[in-house]
């Protein structure tokens, strides 16, 4: 693990926000410092005041109850995040303001005002109740990026059902696993979705998953394409029929602040993906405050977070955070390069997007496609740019700032995780200069440190492990169905602190650079994948007896998946078939870029695979470093240096 944290990049020169942006920014450096200090010295006072900006049906008795590793925020209070995102804003006079502007890949545009979105959510809430969903039940969503995804999430939240969104690119097997793990009786899906002009048959995949998930009783099917999917009598219901028949009257359910809002599965270093559980009140306050301050929201902004709702970024910054702030959001269904690499810029121009939040992997692809694509469009509506999901290399950062932002827009790099629920490190735009490649300073209430394995703080400038030393409102509460795993993974690795799994270092200004995962988790195009998950998919193939997966630095994706496989006696392998196998088991995003066939893997005497050496081979480097702990060092000499075809 140390090979990653030793390679910290050099400090980049700070880039200051323009005087114009700084003058209109809602927080300056002193205000940030005063608020941050209060959040450290008087966290309960600080968070209590922020939470008062939202609606609570009944008050809390205490802001925080911390019994490590379990936190309760706004103890005993009752609220509802969908009420806060919709009814509260409609009551405040925003009924006619645009809540969601959606664009389909085929160019179709649909707009929902706050009042219209509220009506849809009320109807959908009644539909769920009519299907027998009660408070605390889990509902799985397997949907494309269409407004119904947000409506379904908010409808669940409105009645206290716990949503579990499964990214539409995940396989049948991955979907079935997640339905089964969450014990969802209801699945919400669509007939199909559009991707680069082609139809992806979601309903067909949902049907196959249902065959492996006995717990499932009902399927609600949104018509996105031709409404031609086969429907199973007694089980499947069309969304549009059900909504049309349902009442548009519904009162949001007052929920305990700690009532679970959602489960979202994410990969870890071992075992199957974990169901990260987020609460209602704390998550609401965290996403509300970070959206408001990090994106410096203004009344007329059109905020575009390009993440799919299948990931936490889509939960927090496409749906909950912006709507809690009464903002208008843009939602896009399709691929960034359909019909060509100008799509995003065409949309920015047509919709007058003012804040854009996207991932480094997308930025690098745009960069490679060339400046002529953004050059064809008027991007003057943009005033702020954000980056999330993986470390952004300074070159991509500068291109984003110069070519997309026209040198006018601050770029906020934001570090956070599925588990943290909301942004943890960033530089507030207008208040601070950014340093390309460096996430920045802690958000309010976030108490980070860079430490050794033993938990001792390292000196500024040195690499170490990123930890958070106290609970924050939007932190995960547990791992669904496995609280012991929660305690061990997050609060048990390094005593007394939350361990993020990332390597990082801090400079003398307190800016933190996050260098990447130090565990067996890969970050491929901003998507998190467990090496063990891919390894178990590979050994599930008839010809493979053993497998080891590592990441290889990749210019576009950040990391690429590289697999080393051992074959069973008498078997040969077709690399294309193995790739397809992984794709079927997990999803196309996990497909290995290269597969090496080996006759043995480098292991310690206790049988642990030494991935460090495999990473070197995968990257085309000479094998170097201490080989004395290997059981059989000659294995290294026998490792293939070219991948199988």
Strands 236-238, 218-222: pairing is parallel
φ/ψ of 368, rounded to 5, equals -65, -35
Residue 268 or 445: the one with the smaller Cβ distance to ligand WT7 is 268
Compute the least distance from the CB of residue 418 to ligand WT7, in Å.
3
CA distances from 572 to 74, 375, 641 (A): 59, 50, 18
Residue 223 or 522: the one with the smaller Cβ distance to ligand WT7 is 522
Evaluate the omega torsion of the peptide bond into residue 69 and state whether it is cis, within 30 degrees of 0.
yes
Q: Among 13-21, 233-241, 453-461, 515-523, which window interacts with ligand WT7 (CB under 6 A)?
A: 515-523
Q: Residue written as tokens 């548009």?
A: 248
Show the tokens assigned to 58: 């009944």
Compute the least distance from the CB of residue 443 to ligand WT7, in Å.
12
Compute the least distance from the CB of residue 423 to ligand WT7, in Å.
8
Which residue's Cβ lies closest to ligand WT7?
418
Are the beta carbons of 107 and 123 closer than 8 angstroms? no
Residue 175 or 388: the one with the smaller Cβ distance to ligand WT7 is 388
Compute the least distance from the CB of residue 453 to ligand WT7, in Å.
17
Count of residues engaged in binding ligand WT7, rule: CB under 6 A = 23
Q: Among 89-97, 149-157, 346-354, 513-521, which window interacts with ligand WT7 (CB under 6 A)?
A: 513-521
Per-residue b/e over 458-492, b at no fewer than 16 CB within 10 Å?
Answer: beeeebbbbbbebbbbbbbbbbbebeebbeebbbe
CA distances from 461 to 115, 504, 506, 594 (A): 51, 9, 5, 35
Show the tokens assigned to 492: 């048990």
Interaction between residue 391 and ligand WT7 (CB under 6 A): yes
Residue 314 or 430: the one with the smaller Cβ distance to ligand WT7 is 314
Compute the least distance from the CB of residue 533 to ligand WT7, in Å.
13
Q: Which of 442, 501, 530, 592 binds ligand WT7 (CB under 6 A)?
A: 501
Compute the least distance from the CB of residue 551 to ligand WT7, in Å.
11
First-to-last alpha carbon distance for the chain, in angstroms, is: 30
Interaction between residue 170 and ligand WT7 (CB under 6 A): no
- Compose the 239-278 pattern: x for residues touching ligand WT7 by CB under 6 A, - for all others: ---------------------------x------------
Compute the least distance from the CB of residue 426 to ligand WT7, in Å.
8
Interaction between residue 389 and ligand WT7 (CB under 6 A): yes
358 strand-pairing partners: 387
Instruction: Give the separation between CA 466 and CA 512, rounded to whole angstroms.
Output: 9
Q: Which of 79, 354, 523, 531 binds ligand WT7 (CB under 6 A)?
A: 523
Interaction between residue 414 and ligand WT7 (CB under 6 A): yes
Interaction between residue 514 and ligand WT7 (CB under 6 A): yes
Residue 453 or 638: the one with the smaller Cβ distance to ligand WT7 is 453
Instruction: Give the separation between CA 46 and CA 48, rounded to whole angstroms.
Output: 6
Question: Dihedral (C-alpha) 451, 457, 460, 463: value to the nearest 10 degrees?
Answer: -20
513 strand-pairing partners: 505
Q: Which of 146, 192, 261, 312 binds ligand WT7 (CB under 6 A)?
A: 312
Interaction between residue 558 and ligand WT7 (CB under 6 A): no
Per-residue b/e over 17-44, b at no fewer than 16 CB within 10 Å?
Answer: beeebbeebebeeeebeebbebbeeebe
Are the beta carbons of 329 and 322 closer than 8 angstroms? yes
Q: Among 24-32, 213-221, 296-304, 495-503, which window interacts with ligand WT7 (CB under 6 A)?
A: 495-503
Per-residue b/e over 523-556, b at no fewer than 16 CB within 10 Å?
Answer: bbbbbbbbbbbbbbbbeebebbebbbbbbbebee
Helical axes 114-130 vs 147-159, angle rounded to 10°: 60
Interaction between residue 506 and ligand WT7 (CB under 6 A): no
Show the tokens assigned to 280: 């209602």
Compute the least distance from the CB of residue 451 to ligand WT7, in Å.
16
Compute the least distance from the CB of residue 389 to ligand WT7, in Å.
4
Interaction between residue 69 and ligand WT7 (CB under 6 A): no
Interaction between residue 417 and ligand WT7 (CB under 6 A): yes
Residue 35 or 307: the one with the smaller Cβ distance to ligand WT7 is 307
Interaction between residue 331 and ligand WT7 (CB under 6 A): no
Interaction between residue 486 and ligand WT7 (CB under 6 A): no
List of residues 6+ apart from 23 with CB closer than 8 A = none
Could you please report the per-residue DSSP string of 310-368? TSHHHIIIIIIHHHHTT-EEEEE-S-TTSSSTTHHHHHHHHHT--EEEE-HHHHHHHHH
Q: Which of 516, 551, 587, 592 binds ligand WT7 (CB under 6 A)?
A: 516
Q: Which of 4, 292, 517, 611 binds ligand WT7 (CB under 6 A)?
A: 517
Q: Which of 203, 528, 557, 591 binds ligand WT7 (CB under 6 A)?
A: 528
Give the footprint of ligand WT7 on this chain (CB under 6 A): 266, 311-313, 388-391, 413-418, 439, 500-502, 514, 516-517, 523, 528
């Amino acid at each position: 693990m140390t090979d990653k944290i030793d390679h910290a990049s050099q400090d980049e020169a700070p880039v200051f926000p323009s005087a114009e942006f700084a003058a209109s920014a809602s927080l300056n450096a002193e205000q940030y410092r005063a608020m941050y200090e209060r959040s450290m010295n008087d966290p309960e006072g600080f968070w209590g005041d922020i939470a008062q900006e939202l609606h609570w049906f009944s008050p809390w008795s205490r802001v925080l109850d911390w019994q490590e590793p379990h936190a309760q925020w706004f103890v005993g209070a009752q609220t509802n995040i969908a009420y806060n995102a919709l009814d509260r804003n409609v009551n405040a006079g925003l009924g006619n303001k645009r809540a969601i502007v959606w664009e389909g890949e085929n160019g179709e545009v649909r707009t929902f005002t706050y009042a219209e979105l509220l009506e849809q959510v009320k109807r959908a809430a009644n539909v769920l109740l009519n299907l027998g969903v009660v408070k605390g039940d889990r509902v799985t969503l397997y949907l494309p990026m269409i407004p119904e995804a947000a409506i379904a999430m908010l409808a669940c939240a409105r009645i206290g059902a716990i949503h579990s969104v499964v990214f539409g690119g995940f396989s049948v097997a991955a979907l079935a696993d997640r339905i089964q793990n969450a014990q969802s009786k209801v699945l919400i899906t669509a007939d199909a979705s559009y991707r680069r002009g082609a139809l992806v048959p979601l309903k067909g995949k949902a049907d196959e998953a249902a065959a492996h998930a006995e717990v499932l009783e009902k399927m609600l099917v949104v018509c996105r394409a031709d409404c031609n999917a086969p429907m199973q009598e007694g089980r499947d219901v069309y969304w549009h029929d059900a909504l049309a028949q349902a009442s548009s009257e519904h009162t949001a359910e007052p929920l305990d602040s700690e009532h679970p809002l959602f489960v979202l599965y994410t990969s870890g270093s071992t075992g199957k993906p974990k169901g990260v559980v987020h609460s209602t009140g704390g998550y609401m306050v965290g996403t509300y405050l970070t959206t408001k301050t990090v994106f410096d929201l203004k009344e007329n902004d059109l905020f575009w977070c390009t993440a799919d709702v299948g990931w936490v970024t889509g939960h927090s910054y496409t749906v909950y955070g912006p709507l809690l702030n009464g903002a208008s959001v843009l939602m896009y269904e399709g691929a960034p390069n359909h019909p060509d690499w100008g799509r995003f810029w065409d949309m920015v121009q047509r919709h007058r997007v003012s804040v854009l939040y996207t991932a480094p992997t997308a930025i690098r692809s745009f960069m490679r496609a060339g400046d002529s694509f953004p050059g064809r469009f008027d991007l003057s509506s943009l005033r702020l740019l954000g980056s999330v999901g993986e470390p952004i290399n300074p070159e991509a950062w500068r291109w984003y700032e110069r070519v997309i932002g026209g040198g006018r827009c601050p770029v906020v790099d934001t570090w956070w995780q599925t588990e943290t629920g909301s942004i943890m490190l960033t530089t507030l735009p207008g208040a601070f200069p950014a340093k390309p490649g460096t996430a920045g300073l802690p958000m309010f209430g976030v108490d980070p440190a860079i430490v050794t394995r033993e938990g001792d703080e390292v000196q500024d400038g040195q690499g170490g492990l990123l930890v958070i030393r106290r609970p924050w409102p939007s932190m995960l509460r547990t791992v669904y169905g496995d609280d012991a795993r929660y305690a061990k993974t997050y609060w048990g690795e390094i005593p007394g602190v939350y361990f993020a799994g990332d390597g990082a270092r801090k400079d003398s200004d307190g800016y933190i650079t996050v260098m990447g995962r130090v565990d067996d988790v890969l970050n491929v195009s901003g998507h998190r994948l467990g090496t063990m998950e891919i390894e178990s998919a590979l050994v599930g193939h008839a010809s493979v007896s053993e497998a080891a997966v590592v990441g290889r630095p990749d210019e576009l994706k950040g990391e690429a998946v590289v697999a080393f496989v051992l074959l069973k006696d008498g078997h040969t392998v077709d690399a294309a078939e193995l790739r397809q196998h992984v794709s079927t088991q997990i999803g196309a995003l996990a497909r290995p870029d290269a597969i090496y066939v080996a006759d043995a893997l480098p292991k310690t005497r206790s049988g642990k695979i030494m991935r460090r050496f495999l990473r070197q081979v995968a990257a085309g480097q000479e094998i170097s470093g201490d080989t004395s702990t290997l059981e059989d060092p000659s294995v290294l000499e026998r490792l293939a240096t070219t991948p199988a075809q």
